[in-house]
């Protein structure tokens, strides 16, 4: 299959998702060695899970299929430019390339606007609209110290 055909699969997932009323108009596929290994649509409202975006769902499935936590050697095809959460998940998953169809501006025009998140990220913690309060740092550092000392850890 070609890049365009893989993208068409992601787009069809997004269209079918709207028609089936299972979630938002977003679909994604993960490809490895020229084959689709994972397909997913947005299922936020279906599962009551705000993280169940198409890209995150597809990454989770691809990692399960490949039995790994990284998607090196894979491509992601998504029906829309990834939101900040999905962008973070994509970077952590480390695919080789990401293809997208609709833009974040297109998404904003149908009330999927993530610009406020980008604005919030750029602000210092004490200026954000949501309050972030540090608590129990010393106690939490124990886990970090243990990780630092661990000789058999799997780096990621």
Is position 138 annotated as part of the catalytic site? Answer: no
Closest CA to 79 of 104, 60, 96, 62: 104
Edge-to-edge order in the sheet of strand 97-102:
35-41, 27-32, 74-80, 97-102
Distance between CA atoms of residues 87 and 110, nearest Å = 20
What is the token pair recorded at 42?
């947005």
Catalytic entry in 55, 61, 109, 155:
55
Do residues 98 and 89 touch, judged by C-beta distance below 8 A? no
Catalytic residue positions? 55
């Amino acid at each position: 299959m070609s890049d365009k055909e893989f993208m068409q699969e992601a787009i069809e997932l997004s269209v079918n998702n709207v028609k089936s009323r299972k979630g938002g108009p977003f679909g994604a596929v993960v490809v490895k060695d020229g084959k689709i290994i994972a397909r997913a649509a947005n299922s936020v409202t279906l599962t009551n899970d705000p993280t169940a975006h198409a890209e995150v769902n597809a990454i989770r499935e691809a990692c399960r299929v490949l039995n790994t936590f990284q998607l090196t050697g894979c491509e992601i095809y998504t029906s829309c430019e990834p939101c900040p959460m999905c962008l973070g998940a994509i970077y952590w998953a480390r695919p080789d390339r990401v293809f997208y169809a609709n833009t974040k501006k297109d998404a904003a025009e149908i009330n999927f606007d993530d610009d406020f998140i980008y604005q919030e990220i750029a602000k210092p913690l004490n200026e954000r609209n949501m309050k972030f309060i540090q608590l129990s740092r010393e106690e939490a550092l124990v886990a970090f110290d243990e990780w630092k000392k661990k000789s058999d850890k799997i780096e990621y």
